[in-house]
Structure formats: C-alpha cells, structure tokens
Amino acid sequence: MEAADDVIDPSAGDGLDPIPAGKRTLSCWGMATLWVSMVVGVPTYYTAASLVELGMSWWQGVATIFLGNLVVSAPICLTAHAGTQYGVSFPIQLRSAFGVRGARVPALLRAVVACGWCGIESWIGGQAIFLLLLPISMRSSHYAKTVDWLGTSPLEIGCFLLFSLLQFAVLWKGMTGIYALGMSSAPVLVLLVSCLFAWAYAAAGGFGEMLSAPSRLAPPQFWSVFFPSLTGCVGSWATVALNISDFSRFARSQADQVFGQIGLPLFMAAYAFGGLAITSATEVIFGRPISDPLELLSRINTNFFISIIAFLGIGLAIITTNIPANFVAPANVLVSLSPSTFSFTTGSLVTAVISVAFQPWKIMGSSQSYVYAWLVGCSAVLGPITGIMLTDYYVLRRTRLHKEGLYSDSAYGPYYYTGGYNVAGFIALAAGVGPAIPGFLHEVGVLKTTWKVFDVIYGSAWFFGVFFASLVYWVLSCACSCRKAKDKACEAWAVAPMAEPLLRHTGTP
C-alpha cells in the first residue's frame, strides 16, 4: 500500500454515511502513527509530570501511566470493533444503545468535554506565546499580574485569545493539510523533549542524580494518590475510548485496528518517562519539581531564536490536535441539533466561547486540579457511556447491528425504542454518573464535607461508572419482556420489501 493511502481520508464520508469497504485503507502502521501523533503533546507531558509533583517517584509515575493506558486500551479496541465492522462513526454507533434520537444526549456530553479540552489546548498555546515569545519586561509588567476575580492576568488572557484567533485563521482555510501536519508535528515535539532530556541529564549530573528524587509519599498516602491518578490516566483517553470509531471505521481489518492500538501503553510509557525524568531532574536542579514544560523552557532558555522554534513546534502540535479533535466535533453536534441556527463557523465560535467558560487557567493552575478535578471528572461522565455501549454491542447484540436501522427514524425501526429514546440507556447513564457527583463537588470545593464512600467512588469514577452502568443497563434490558419480540419484529422489518422507503437520515446527533 502506498503511504498516501495509509491515512484517514476526511473526504471518504460526510460524517454520517458508513465508509464503503473500498475506502477503508488505514493499516496497522497508520493507526499506530495516528496514536503517536495524539500521544506526543504538551497535555500528555503535563499529565506525566504532574504525578511527580503530586509526590510519586519517576518509576511509580511510569508504572501508573503504563497501567492506566493498558486498562483503557481494552475498551478502545472493543469500541473500535463496530467502526471497523460496519464503517459507522461514533454518533451513529450510539444509536444502538440510546435510540436514534436519544443518541444526541451522550454525543452532546462528549462534545462538552471536547469544549473543555479545546480550552485547555488553547490556553497552553497562549502560555507558549506568553512564556516563550514575550520579553521578560512584559511578563513582569502590571498587566501580567493576576487579577483576583479573573484568576489570571489580563496579559495571559490576551495571549490565550490571540492563540484562539490563530486557530480560527487556520480553521477558516479548511481542514486540508491539517491531518498531514499532525503527523509532522510529533517528530518536532519528540525532538524538543529529547533536547530537554539532554539538558536535564547534563544539569543534574547524570542519570543517578536525575532519577534519584524519591517518592514523597508514605505507603498509606501513596495509595490515596495512586487510585485517583490511575483514574486520571484512564480519563485522559476516555474521550477517545468513546469516539474511536470515528477513526477505526477507516481501518482495513480488525487486526489492523487492534494491533495498531495496542502500542498505546508503550507509546505513553516511553513519552511519559521523558516528562517524568525531566521533572524529577528539576527537583534536583531547582529544588522543586517543574511540571509545566513551557515554564521550564522559559527558565532555561535565553536564545530568542530557539524560543521561536520551540513555539512553532508546540503551536503546530496544538493546532493540528485541537482543531480536528476539539473544534470540529462540537461544531458538528451543534449544526446537527439545529441546522437553521448554526453553521460550521458559528458552531466553532460557540465551541470557543464554551471553552472559555471552563476557565482552563484554573484547571491548569495545579497538578491536583488538572488530575483530580479535570481528568477524573471527565472520566466520571464518559465511563458510564463506554460501559453502556460495550454491554449493548457485545452482551446484548453479540456484535450484530442492523446498519440500515441505525439510519432510520421509523417507529418500526430496531433502534427507535420509545419515541426514539432508549429509557434503559438513560437510567443506566444516570446510575453511573450520579454517585460520583458528591465526590466531584467535594473535590472542587462546592461541598465542604461528604461521606467517605462518595470520595472513594469519585476517586475510581471511570471504573465505577463503566461497571455499574453496564450492570444497570443489562438488568433493565433483560427485564423488558417484549425485547425478544421487538428484535424479531425488527429483523423482519430489516429485510422486508417495504423497509427501504422508510430509511432516511435523521442527522448526526
């Protein structure tokens, strides 16, 4: 296969129609390369470095990240199966478990999380401008001082908005070339981290000193940090575990998508080792761990030319990840909800506004808020959806879907349920998310105290959500006495001569 064919072709489908078998050209190597481009980024580095800042040693951090990504690789490969098998995208796949209309709700939840990630990525880009391009005199001026009610400085907000405008300029030119640029940005960041690693090695006096920083956590403290951190590592890919079908539907075979994705734990562990080792070295060099690579670059670099190169590499990586992953998906959801109100451009603008409402400067303000509040909080919402989808597809349907039924709004369709909504799916979703809410509110300070059990549930929110929502969904689905009769009627409908005129698109949820 030629290299040109070994990529995701955005023009192969309109986001709604299934990808024809002839256009599924993504190989095992192509899928692995896609993961490399997603893994190599500032948020991944920050996730790894945050574990050192929270008190872990470098090897404890690497082990936690490897285990977390090994865990999340399983639902990623399992969820991807439907995309490769039927060529359908994530919003269409959701219809099996939530109904042809009800699928809009979990798709919207996924889009809201994408808005939060959009803000985080844009804030990192703005910080790259602030720390790498602005002179020290501006960074120490009155406008760079934190305003209490804002939570950050006006100058940093200005850099954040400037980087957002830069992304809009790229977005305005269209998606052509963004996917290819994404592949080229990964080597730039790998080179940048390699240079930081070499500097840390020399400044710390070798591997012995560089990796000598011990864990600051006693055994009881370690476990109280480990489980939320493990959940956070899973949560960092919880979004992709849901919508992996958007990528896997381009895969040539199940073997290609599985073997292309099992490298995720290894890629993450290797890249994380660099971030963890560098952060451990900063504790030796500066007396405190520095988890933000941009702050570290600004402290050790006095060459403006190198700063420009670093900014271009970081900015390119952010733009090529943020636009397709966190701008396009929410914008498409808004357009599908109300085509007469939103265009793709206005949908992107709304996405940007919502991303500001997340106040990413507060999320990125500390390792604790980033890992415990953001990553674990996202996993609390997305884990139950993952569990429901997997139970529906593997346990109840044994990987058999009516492809035509996924695109039908007919009341006789197999996924119409009650008015287009599967009540069992929504009850299971509420059951999976609800118990984690008190712990989240306690974590962010809304609740001063809560029962210990809620903190424990929240600390393992993704695991609890996946298993409890799956159980509730399975019990409710089996309890429906008319389920088998309904399925038989649907099978008859799917092959009936009158079925074809009933098929019509209902819009991407």
Q: What is the pLDDT of residue 506?
A: 42
Place of tokens 């040109």: 4
Q: Residue 491's pLDDT band (boundaries 50, 70, 90)? A: low
3-state secondary structure of 1: coil
Q: Which residue has the higher pLDDT, 310 or 258?
A: 258
Q: What is the pLDDT of residue 488?
A: 53
Range of lowest pLDDT (46-50, 421-425, 494-498, 502-506): 502-506
- CB-count burial class (<10 Å; 0-12, 13-18, 19+) for 469: buried
For the chain, what are the domain ranges? 3-502
In b/e form, how buried is each residue of 310-346, taking b as 16+ CB within 10 angstroms? bbebbbbbbbbbbbbbbbbbbbbbbbbbeeeebeeee
The answer to whether residue 191 scores a pLDDT higher than 50 is yes
Q: Say how far apart CA 315 and CA 321 lie, in whole Å.
A: 10
Q: Residue 509's pLDDT band (boundaries 50, 70, 90)? A: very low
- Distances from the Cα of 84 to the Cα of 74, 247, 386, 394, angstroms: 16, 9, 17, 15
> 3-502 has which CATH code?
1.10.4160.10
Q: Residue 502's pLDDT band (boundaries 50, 70, 90)? A: very low
Q: Which residue has the higher pLDDT, 435 or 250?
A: 435
In 50-94, the DSSP E strands lie at: none
For the stretch 115-166, pLDDT in tens is 999 999 999 999 999 999 999 899 999 999 999 988 999 999 999 999 998 8
Provide, rounded to the nearest whole percent, the portion of the chain with pLDDT above 90. 45
- Distances from the Cα of 256 to the Cα of 1, 175, 324, 380, angstroms: 13, 25, 22, 30
Angle between helices 264-286 and 28-39 (to 10 degrees): 20
Q: What is the DSSP letter of 146?
A: P
Range of lowest pLDDT (21-30, 83-92, 174-183, 234-243): 174-183
Length of the chain measured in residues: 509
Locate all alpha helices (DSSP H) within 264-392, ordered by sequence: 264-286, 293-300, 304-322, 328-337, 344-357, 360-363, 367-368, 376-390
Q: Residue 183's pLDDT band (boundaries 50, 70, 90)? A: low
Identify whether the C-beta of residue 276 lies closer than 8 Å to the C-beta of residue 52.
yes
CA 426, 429, 434 angle in degrees (round to 5)?
125
Provide, rounded to the nearest whole percent, the portion of the chain with pLDDT above 70. 87
- Cβ atoms within 10 A of the Cβ of 131, count? 23
For the stretch 305-359, pLDDT in tens is 878 888 887 888 788 778 777 887 787 777 767 777 877 778 888 888 899 999 9
Amino acid at 442: H
pTM of the complete model? 0.87
CA atoms within 13 A on the CB side of 307: 21
Q: Say how far apart CA 188 and CA 41 lie, in whole Å.
A: 10
Token pair of 302, please?
């006095």
Token pair of 358, please?
């997340």
Identify whether the C-beta of residue 100 lies closer than 8 Å to the C-beta of residue 420.
yes
- CB-count burial class (<10 Å; 0-12, 13-18, 19+) for 492: exposed
Q: Which residue has the higher pLDDT, 493 or 456?
A: 456
State the chain's mean pLDDT as an integer: 85
For the stretch 382-419, pLDDT in tens is 999 999 999 999 999 999 999 999 998 888 889 999 99
For the stretch 75-126, pLDDT in tens is 999 999 999 999 998 889 999 999 999 999 998 999 899 899 999 999 999 9
